[in-house]
A and B are shown apart, each in its own frame.
Chain A
Amino acid sequence: MPLPDPVDFAVPGFVALVFAEMVVVRIKDRSRYCPRDTLTSLALGLGSTVAGVLSAGAVFALATWVGQFRAFDISYAWYWFVVCFVLDDLAYYLFHRSAHRVRWFWASHVIHHSSQHYNLSTALRQTWTGFFSLAFLFRLPLFLIGFPPEMVFFVAGLNLIYQFWIHTEVIGRMPRWFEAVMNTPSHHRVHHATNPRYLDRNYAGVLIVWDRMFGTFEPERADDRPRYGIVHQLGSFSLLWAAFHEWVGIARDVWRAPWGAKLGYIWRPPGWSHDGSRDTSETIKARWEARHVRIREPQQSP
């Protein structure tokens, strides 16, 4: 059953909402957008779309091949779309968590976090190397269960569309029931923040319940405003550097590392080093927590 790519239909809406956000920002706080940053994000988004088209055939062929070994024959009844959407969102959570915890996947995903701004144009700053990083592996279980590839790619498109609107500072908090179940601008601001408290939190795509279930949820706090970007800010608007810098970093590290440590620079968390000379999110958090405790509990004089 051929299904349309919902993202194609959403693009005019993306453009209109970015424009609307720019107008709001012009009135409220002009520094929330930067023209060069916006141009970089949008150009990276366009490049990502082209990269996706180039690899779509191979991904669809693989999905169809894997589908031969499916456990069930699942129809196109509406409720299967709902089940597929939820399971695809779980697969997204697992992918996204891996994308922050395994440097190989991070090298592809980092592009999305490389802006120091957080606005709707940031949502469009997407990877060029998703296929190369093998990110599609995380969806293969859905095809093995028996969901038709067309259905999976359709709900994945809906998932992507949902995630667009949460990339904004214009919206504060949604109603409590909504914040409890759904990923929201507030939850996703935390995910994009480099504040130690917020590192490696809120991986959800659509349903924030996955983070609550798996212990990775962190609420946004008024006394710790998110600072966006990556721990080691690029300081450059270069498209190619944003798209490939972490791959270059992996290649350099693997080349220089002693034999026993080479693979660690690929599959261990970003920031890992064999001699402990760099910071991972764990060491950053630990240092921050130690300092935080010292500030809250000043030493008693004898």
Chain B
Amino acid sequence: MKARVPREFRHSAIAVVVATLLLLPMPLVVSSFGLHVLTIAFYYVILAASWNLLAGYTGQFSLAHHAFAAVGAYTSGLLGHHWGVPFWIGIPAGVALSGALGWGLGRLVLRMRAIYLAIATWAFAETVHIYLTADYQFTRGELGLSVKPLYGSVDPLPYYFTFLALTAVVLLFIRGLIDSPLGYFMRAIKDDELRAKSLGIDTTKVKVAVFSISSAIAGLAGGFYGHYIVLLSPQMIDFSEMAKIVVMVVIGGFGTFLGPIVGAAPVQVILTWLQKYGEWNLAVFALVVIVLMRFSMEGIAAVFAPWWRRLWAGRA
């Protein structure tokens, strides 16, 4: 019997591949700074999409996602800084450590509900923040940890392609996960956890698995990010970073595949553009968010949804 690839996966995969191909010639039309902004935007797309996997698809509102990105970045950075470990060992080590910490934290906190889970994960993030700041002899704290660039220099061009490919691969992986058995167990838990339990689903096991996977993805993004920006500071775990990820997902469309993609990239581009207004940038940004939410509570993805359905209507 031929293995059946779910329709949703096929359609999304085609869209991701087409979008990636369309973005390939971007360096021909945008400046070096533009490429840098887009590269950072891809980093946030990965963070937003992996947080959405946990919060949007499984209903577990964690506030530690930025901390897992920092764990990935610092693991590779510290291994390189202290022991000269190359990135191709450092980044996988960061992914493994983020995944393992996610698994451990998940075991501890995922029995909690809503606000308690949010507070507990936030406390974890703050603990990592304090550690990175306090143990400055090892982590270099606020002085900043210098990390070797991935390609010898910090010219954005090769990093643009790296992050574009990484984003495409992560998005395809996430789409595959959503359509896999784990995916419908996740969505069942989000729909009604008690009901899922009454079906005999070990809901804690599913939630811990998703928490671990989404943390590992954040660690992966963080690892590559560190080798691009080359100077890490505990600012990576500032609460505003987490707030940014939440805003990106909510603006894009919470619990939809497209949401974090169409949310993260524009938000990052707008935020960068607003930086010229100094302290006013957040006020202007808040205004943009309010206006956007006024027009579509379900996020930007909802605007695309009917068009997306029409595009595939009647096709297998």
Q: Is the pairing of A and B real? A: no
A-side residues, CB < 8 A to B, are none
